[in-house]
Structure 1
């Protein structure tokens, strides 16, 4: 036991009276009505034999009529009987005064009093030693202020009680006096009773008191709101009764029973599962017993309407024709061969089986590559309804599973709502932006999607509002995402990932010619026969006014051209001056170009290498610059790069130091210089394990003062031994190299197998060279200059520094 308590002498026996949902505290005076015969006998025996003292112990479960030791709490309160009043119905009203808290154990001996068996207990009384320190005084003052605040909300506290509480200066006694006046569960009161440390007991009392203040404040607000609503309902009821009387006089009286009969007829004609039909019949029966003016009537009626409006067993009849489906997919989208092939495989299997439970397709790719529009094409090619649900920013689990009907304004989840709009139970359901869901205190919506997208579980999806199992297995679910890593792993495991990378320049030209331009001409009221846009003009827009993996910005630029032509048509009263848009006229329509076509350096540079990076928007060229300065061996890395690229830079420098002899460098070359590695476009975050050989090439170029070829790009991670490790996103990186006018690309040897995924046009235009070691990279990346011209270049001020780093200034460095 804590030091703040001392125990009394053992062997003290008292009769036991059990309490239901009441906890007695020391120093509390509480009147209780006693009705059980055993309890009355215990009170009578205490008055006659034990000097009016009795032990009051609370029951754990109030339903138990004759509780034993295991049904009672281990701690109770020794009380004194102050007053007893016998009532005509046989019960007694007793006024108890709590004196001490005490542990107890039963005594085997029991005694009989007027035919009733009364239990005796051996009690171990606890004496309390209240601390007196600044912390205790501060807690007492804070609690007394909270009691004053509570008394303003709860008017049942008498002024005498408040005065008594304000005069108490002991924490344990203050807690014992306050607790009987709080409207909290008896289990919480018992927990406070059993706290032996006075300060801790008062802290718990203060916490419960603050909770009661908040609850009481909310109760007042609710009562005020309900009162206003009742007044409004009374007014509405009066007006409704008047309206009914008017309609009755005019012979237009509504019959609620006729409306319910109509619901029953709809139910009988509806094709639905038996469990849903039984639930609807039960709710209609409940509705017959309610007055139409009650608030619950509307709630039940809305629930029945939802059940009747859902397409439970209604499947839209579709005739699958693979050739027609392939033709529709080709009409709507140019390229995207792998996604189209997977869709046709799905449709082929569906023609052979009545019901297919397979993988959920997930289209992953940069914005604007056609993920959502491809889903629409699937619906059109299969003859199904199309439903789209955007999950971007969804953070409430109820958006997926629905609200329970206990809430005001409860609705089913978005899945059920969308099926009601589709009016068929086998649509193509596109869950857009599945990677942009988030979670907070309202739940995790991605976890709720697990049941929706699992083919083994969605046959019995349970919406919280319906509280009925709904079969989602007939739905063709398609999800889209920009970033695969943002999708939770359990959810990603239930989907088949199909990656849609960026389009080639030739593909963008065909998409603009066949899809985007006709669409925008029609939307802007232009006749295609009056407007001619050359391929050179479209290429100019693609190269100098957009830089993206998809075609969304390309469509915006084409729309801008069409709007300007529409303005000329209106001003010219039907005639367009720029009816023929060429490469030279694009600038007058769109203004100054936004981008420079191709990012590679115009000529070879010392310490500047071109790398390849993968981003959510597709592939990008990544320039790495290295500058050397006289110093003390400091290495600085800038350009808003992540931890992975910083580690790659350090690994590249360590690799060069370990092979300084082979590069013709002095073994202590790094001690007299400072190295600054910079990746331009510092506002853009960059990271990933694919820039190791680029960083190493830039460092070696700067140290040996040998220019790097400007038509060579490279990608791959480096080890301390100089090995080149494989990377990801090869297709997107090669697209970026092709877009940036690169001619030669160095890739890891282990990625050679991934070239099958690269379009033939890219492989034909690029010279792709696999490398295994930095010894393979340097001869291909560094400019093979004659020894006498080795130190020629525009940055002549760095030549002396590069010479000083070599072991023998008379010998040119080798590479």
Structure 2
């Protein structure tokens, strides 16, 4: 039997997968295919035959045969592209291990300090989702399909979605919905110039995963733009509807169903009042109220600052203690999120690192020095600074006192 492979081309690809139907066809990743890229020549009889696609969904088989006929009769470049896209999608799910809720709790605790009630709500949602999967119950039974994290910017909504993906051993695909339309999500008809599949299909191809292996992050659903002719809301509602999301269609791949019934959906929103009412009815809302000062100090000391120093490979060159984080929280207006604290710490670390590079001496940052670098209402680049060396006092560097 002839081995089924995507059409040869000039773009780079990933190694073929080794399973039978669906994954074996992902010999080349088509995620990098440009919008108007010329399609490679195709000789269908030499690349695949009807026997080699027998394990694919019936509608996919029909679509492949239809596009092959168009290539043979008209030489259609768009049909060649459609064949490549169809062969690039994974049509068979790999078995997934059962979700370990203890591991899920550890993943949430390691990535987030505080937020106790939020973590409990997320674990409840994961438990329902896992139970329905194990029992083979209809998708959405018990409200276990679609989750929405609502809270101000910087409260950890996106990182919670990452923790959910890690705990459930799924791959996270994030879709930024602010300003999106139907063309962005489900593509456009091939009759239009420059047509191509939507972002959903392209993400499936680039990830090489079946929808059941994904956590689909619908980011900022409260910022959907209601286009008169290309309103994305019906597409989102279709994705989140357990009775219909087994048959999600892309305009470019007309008539082919993508099965998202086993995908896990997580949405985020900053303003609950701006979430469209039909969408809110399909979501389980978990509200992130923001962090207290004590929680911000704990997170800054145990997560943000150590991660920042680790990413910059900073060791004994800088000494920045917990008291610095405390002063950067207590001495400034309280924000609900962590982004402002992270920005202040970034200013302190970058300024201290600059001191080290200009003096060649280890730098110890104390609270008063940190406050002088991060004054309320002033840009970080406009703040003067001085050196507080780690160890015996040394004269300040003349360039640093200006």
Q: Is the 8 A contact 1:264 1:284 kept in 2?
A: no
What's the offset of the Cα at 1:416? 2.2
Q: Within the alignment, does 1:331 sit opposite 2:110 as a pair?
A: yes
The equivalent of 1:438 in structure 2 is 225
- Among 186, 189, 193, the alignment partner of 1:401 is 186
Distance between the aligned counterparts of 1:340 and 1:500, measured in 2? 10
Q: Does 1:340 align with 2:124?
A: no
Given candidates 383, 390, 415, the residue that maps to 2:176 is 390
- Mapped to 2, the partners of 1:428 and 1:270 lie a distance apart of 29
Hey, what's the Cα distance between the residues in 1 that align with 2:111 and 2:246?
32
2:148 to 362, 376, 380: 362
Task: Spell out the pairing of 1:225-624 with structure 2 (5 A cutoff).
Answer: 256-257=42-43, 260-264=45-49, 268=52, 272-291=56-75, 297-315=76-94, 317-349=96-128, 350-351=130-131, 352-354=134-136, 356-357=139-140, 358-394=144-180, 396-424=181-209, 425-426=211-212, 427-467=214-254, 468-527=256-315, 529-545=316-332, 547-573=334-360, 575-576=361-362, 578-579=363-364, 581-590=365-374, 592-594=375-377
Listed one character per residue, the Cα deviations across residues 651-701 of structure 1 (whole Å, up to 9, x for unaligned) are xxxxxxxxxxxxxxxxxxxxxxxxxxxxxxxxxxxxxxxxxxxxxxxxxxx
Aligned to 1:519, the other structure's residue is in SS state helix
Kept in 2: contact 1:318–1:384 (CA 8 A) = no
Change beyond 3 A, Cα 1:582–1:270: farther
Shift of the alpha carbon at 1:269? 5.8
Output one character per residue of 1:366-402: Cα deviation in whole Å (capped at 9) or x when no partner.
Answer: 00000011101111111111101101122x3222232
Go from structure 1 to structure 2 and tell me whether the alpha carbon gap of 1:382 and 1:256 turns closer, same or farther (over 3 Å shift).
Answer: closer
Instruction: Name the SS of the counterpart of 1:277 in structure 2.
Output: helix
Distance 1:444 1:375 in 2: 26
Q: Structure 1 CA distance, aligned partners of 2:54 and 2:280?
A: 37
- Shift in Å, 1:499: 0.4
- Residues 546, 273 of structure 1: CA spacing in aligned structure 2 closer, same or farther, 3 A cutoff? farther
Q: CA deviation at 1:299?
A: 0.4
Give the Cα separation in 1 of the matches to 2:41 and 2:273: 59
Question: Contact 1:260–1:288 (CA<8 Å) still a contact in 2?
Answer: no
Verify the 8 A CA contact 1:360 1:495 in the aligned structure 2: yes
User: Residue 327 of structure 1: SS of its match in structure 2?
Assistant: helix
Provide the rounded CA distance (Å) in 1 between the counterparts of 2:325 and 2:110. Answer: 20
State the 1:594 CA deviation.
3.7
Residue 360 of structure 1 contacts residue 496 of structure 1 at CA under 8 Å; is this kept in 2? Answer: yes
Question: Structure 1: how far apart are the matches of 2:49 and 2:117?
Answer: 50
CA contact (8 A) 1:536 1:582 kept: yes
What is the alpha-carbon distance in structure 2 between the residues aligned to residue 568 and residue 271 of structure 1? 64
Q: 1:264 to 1:372 in 2, by over 3 A?
A: farther
Q: Could you tell me whether the CA contact under 8 Å between 1:460 and 1:472 is conserved in 2? A: yes
* Secondary structure of the corresponding residue to residue 334 of structure 1: coil
Q: 3-state SS of the aligned residue for 2:230?
A: coil
Of Structure 1 and Structure 2, the greater strand share is in 1
> What is the CA–CA distance in structure 1 between the aligned matches of 2:186 and 2:108, rounded to whole Å?
33
Q: Secondary structure of the equivalent of 1:380?
A: helix
Native 8 Å contact 2:53 2:61 kept in 1? no
**Cα distance in 2, alignment partners of residues 416 and 453 from structure 1:** 17
SS at match of 2:74: coil
Aligned to 1:107: none
Q: 1:563 deviation in Å?
A: 0.6
Kindly indicate whether the alpha-carbon contact (under 8 Å) linking 2:328 and 2:371 is maintained by their aligned counterparts in 1.
no
Q: Is the 8 A contact 2:145 2:264 kept in 1?
A: no
Deviation of 1:454 (Å)? 1.1
Q: For residues 322-359 of structure 1, what are the alpha-carbon distances to aligned partners after superposition, in whole Å with 9 as ceiling and x for unaligned? A: 11111111101112223322332333341533464334
Structure label with greater radius of gyration: 1
Contact 1:392 1:436 (8 Å CA) reproduced: yes
Q: Secondary structure at the match of 2:340?
A: helix
Q: TM-score, normalised by structure 1?
A: 0.39
Question: Residues 441-500 of structure 1: CA distance to partner in whole angstroms, max 9, x if unpaired?
Answer: 332112321111111211112222222222111111100000011111111111111100
Instruction: Give me the whole-angstrom Cα distance separating, in 2, the residues matched to 1:284 and 1:546.
Output: 64
Name the CA distance, whole Å, in 2 between partners of 1:270 and 1:530.
63
Return the alpha-carbon distance in structure 2 between the equivalents of residues 423 and 306 of structure 1.
Answer: 12
- How far did 1:264 drift? 4.0
Instruction: Assess if the C-alpha contact under 8 Å between 2:215 and 2:263 holds in 1.
Output: yes
Is the 2:296–2:338 contact (alpha carbons within 8 Å) kept by the matching residues of 1? yes
Question: How far apart are the structure 2 equivalents of 1:423 and 1:359?
Answer: 22
